[in-house]
Amino acid sequence: MKILLAVAGLLLGLAIGASLARHFAAQHRYPRAVMAVAEAQLAQADGALRAGQCAQAADALARLAATMGEVPRALPLTFAQEPQFRDELARLQTALRPSEADCHALGVRLRQVRQRCDDCHRVYR
């Protein structure tokens, strides 16, 4: 009887543990997805700029700006509790503001965006 209870307790513990693991993994899917999309958009902007396709680079940066608008929803606790995080996001959004689409200006803007991303990721990763 004791063995049966021990096995039942072990199975119950495994089931609860698996359920909790799925729950916590699900909490991290959206933030990871937002960052993965942002990384892809930044790479698209960089590739377009290297190819001299300024309009496509500007479009990729505009899509990146829209994606960064999802950060407060993706990381609500960090956004609510960390003033430095909000400041970093504001600096990134400033760097992402539309400007003229000439390649030189876009290159400067892209470097600023990368710097803002790196600054934030040094602290919040």
**Nearest alpha-carbon partner for 49 in 104, 116, 115, 117:** 104
Whether residue 19 is contained in a domain is answered as no
pLDDT score of 11: 64
- pLDDT by residue (tens digit) across 33-85? 999 999 999 999 999 999 999 999 999 999 999 999 999 999 999 999 999 99
Residue 8 domain-assigned (yes or no): no
Question: Per residue in 9-38, pLDDT tens?
Answer: 766 676 666 555 455 545 579 999 999 999
Q: Can you give the pLDDT at residue 25?
A: 47
Domain for residue 2, yes or no?
no
Residue 88 lies in a domain: yes
Query: For the chain, what is the domain count?
Result: 1
Global confidence as pTM: 0.76
Residue 4 falls inside a structural domain: no
- Evaluate if residue 115 carries a pLDDT over 90: yes
- Over the stretch 88-100, which tens digit does the pLDDT of each residue have? 999 999 999 887 7
The DSSP element (H or E) to which 85 belongs, if any, is helix 83-95
**What b-and-e string marks burial along 54-82, b requiring 16 or more CB atoms within 10 Å of the CB?**
bebbbbbbebbbebbebbeebbeebeeee
